[in-house]
C-alpha cells in the first residue's frame, strides 16, 4: 500500500497556540506526530513511501476561494512588514489574528493582522514563514493519493500535516489551512460518486462547510458532540445539508467517555449511509484523537478499537483514500494509526 509522505511538513512548526483560558502552549500539531507514524509504518512490510506530486493551483481553487488562498500565500510576508512598523515587543515570526469579525460583519481589512482574524475561526492556526508551503504540500499529498485510486489502487494513505478538516472554503481553524480531504474528494468526484467519512474526534466543520449545499459528495461525520467540544459552532445532529445538498450530510455525535462498543455502534450507522449511497470512492478523514489517552479528546477508544474500526470501514470494499487529520498522543499515535491503515493494506 502506498503511503504518500513528504518532509516539507517540517516547514510548518508554529511555536505556540492559544488554548482555552488564554493558555499559551506548545502547538499539539507538531512535526513529531509524523515521526511517530512514519516510525511505526517503517516496521510494517506493506507500507511503500512515495512523495506527493505537483497538481498546480486548480484543484485547490476548486475548494477554496482565491482571496483566501492568496492570503495564505502572501499573509506572512506582509505581516513581517507590518510587525516591523508596529515596533519593539512584537514577535514577527507568528501571524495570528486577535480580532474576529462579529456575525454578519462583512468589512474586509487590508492589514495582515486584520486578515489573519478575517480568515480564521480561532487561535489555533498561526501562520509562519513555511506554513503555506507545508499546507500546499499536504493538499498535494491528498491529491497524489486520489490519483493513485484513479490509477487503480484499492487504497492509499496520505500521511499529511498540517491537517485539513476544520478549514472551510475561506477560513482556517483548528490547525487546518487547506482542506486536504475535501480537495481530494472534489478531485475524485468528476470520476464517480464520492463519500467522505470523517472519524477524527472533532467535527469536520470545514468539510461540512465546503459540501453543505451540494449533493456531489456525501459527507458522514462521527465526532464528539460540539455542545461540549471544539469546533462548537457546527457538527450538530440536526445539520443535514441545505438546498440541493439536503440529506447529503450526516453528523453523528458522541458523549464524553464513549467506549469501543458505543463508538462502533455509531460508526455502523455512518457506514450504512455510505453503503446505501454506493459511492465509487471513499475518502476517510482519519484522526487518532478518538483514543482514550489523547490529550485533547475525551473519548475512550482503545488500540483494539482502532483495529476493529479499520476492519469495518475496509469491509465496505470501496476504493479508499485515507487522509491523516488529528491525533496527539505521541506514545500511541503510531500504533493506533497502523491499526486502521493496515486493515486496508491486508484487505486488498
Ligand atoms: N484544549 C484537529 O484535530 N482547540 N484539530 C483545542 C485544546 C483546537 C484540533 C484546544 C483543536 C483542533 C485536526
Ligand atoms: Zn481532531
Closest atom, ligand 1, to C-alpha of 173: 12
Tell me the CA–centroid distance for residue 339 and ligand 1, in Å.
23
Mutation probe of ligand 1 site: the residue of 296, 326, 328, 336 with most atoms within 8 A of C-beta: 296
Radius of gyration of the chain (CA): 19
How many A from CA of 112 to the centre of ligand 2? 27
For 232, residues 6+ apart whose C-beta sits below 8 A from its C-beta are 226
326 lines ligand 1 (CB under 6 A): yes
Q: What is the pLDDT of residues 158-193, one digit of tens each?
A: 999 999 999 999 999 999 999 999 999 999 999 999
Residue 155 in contact with residue 4, Cβ under 8 Å?
Answer: no
**What is the band of 10 on the pLDDT scale with cuts at 50, 70, 90?**
very high
Ligand 1: residue of 23, 30, 202 to mutate (most ligand atoms within 8 A of CB) is 202
**pLDDT tens readout for residues 80-100:** 999 999 888 899 999 999 989
Mean pLDDT of the chain: 97
Which residues touch 256 (CB under 8 Å, ≥6 apart)? 224, 228, 298, 299
For the cut 80, the answer to whether the pLDDT of residue 348 exceeds it is no
Q: Is residue 264 within 8 Å of residue 308, measured between CB atoms?
A: yes
* 287 CB near ligand 1 (under 6 Å): yes
Q: Phi and psi for 144 in degrees, rounded to 5?
A: -65, -40
pLDDT in tens, 285-328: 999 999 999 999 999 999 999 999 999 999 999 999 999 999 99
What pTM, to 2 d.p., does this model score? 0.97
Amino acid at each position: 500500500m502506498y503511503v504518500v509522505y513528504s518532509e516539507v511538513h517540517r516547514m510548518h512548526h508554529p511555536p505556540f497556540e492559544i488554548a482555552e483560558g488564554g493558555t499559551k502552549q506548545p502547538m499539539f500539531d507538531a512535526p513529531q506526530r509524523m515521526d511517530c507514524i512514519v516510525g511505526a509504518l517503517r516496521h510494517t512490510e506493506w507500507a511503500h513511501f512515495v512523495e506527493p506530486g505537483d497538481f498546480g493551483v486548480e484543484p485547490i481553487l476548486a475548494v477554496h476561494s482565491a482571496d483566501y488562498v492568496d492570503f495564505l500565500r502572501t499573509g506572512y510576508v506582509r505581516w513581517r512588514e507590518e510587525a516591523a512598523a508596529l515596533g519593539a515587543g512584537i514577535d514577527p515570526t507568528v501571524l495570528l489574528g486577535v480580532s474576529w469579525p462579529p456575525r454578519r460583519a462583512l468589512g474586509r481589512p487590508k492589514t495582515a493582522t486584520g486578515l489573519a482574524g478575517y480568515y480564521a475561526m480561532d487561535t489555533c492556526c498561526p501562520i509562519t514563514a513555511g506554513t503555506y508551503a507545508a499546507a500546499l504540500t499536504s493538499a498535494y499529498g491528498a491529491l497524489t493519493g486520489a490519483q493513485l485510486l484513479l490509477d487503480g489502487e484499492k487504497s492509499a494513505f496520505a500521511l499529511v500535516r498540517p491537517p485539513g478538516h476544520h478549514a472551510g472554503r475561506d477560513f482556517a481553524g483548528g490547525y487546518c489551512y487547506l482542506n486536504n480531504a475535501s480537495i481530494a474528494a472534489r478531485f475524485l468526484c468528476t470520476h464517480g460518486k464520492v463519500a467522505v467519512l470523517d472519524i477524527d474526534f472533532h467535527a469536520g466543520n470545514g468539510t461540512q462547510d465546503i459540501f453543505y449545499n451540494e449533493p456531489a459528495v456525501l459527507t458522514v461525520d462521527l465526532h464528539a458532540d460540539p455542545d461540549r467540544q471544539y469546533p462548537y459552532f457546527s457538527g450538530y445532529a440536526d445539520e443535514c445539508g441545505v438546498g440541493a445538498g439536503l440529506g447529503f450530510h450526516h453528523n453523528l455525535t458522541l458523549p464524553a467517555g464513549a467506549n469501543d462498543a458505543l463508538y462502533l455502534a455509531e460508526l455502523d450507522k455512518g457506514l450504512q449511509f455510505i453503503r446505501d449511497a454506493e459511492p465509487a470512492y471513499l475518502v476517510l478523514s482519519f484522526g487518532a484523537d478518538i483514543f482514550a489517552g489523547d490529550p485533547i479528546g475525551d473519548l475512550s477508544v482503545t488500540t483494539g478499537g482502532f483495529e476493529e474500526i479499520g476492519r469495518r470501514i475496509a469491509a465496505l470494499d470501496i476504493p479508499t483514500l485515507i487522509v491523516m487529520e488529528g491525533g496527539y498522543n505521541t506514545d500511541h499515535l503510531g500504533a493506533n494509526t497502523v491499526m486502521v491503515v493496515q486493515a486496508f493494506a491486508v484487505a486488498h
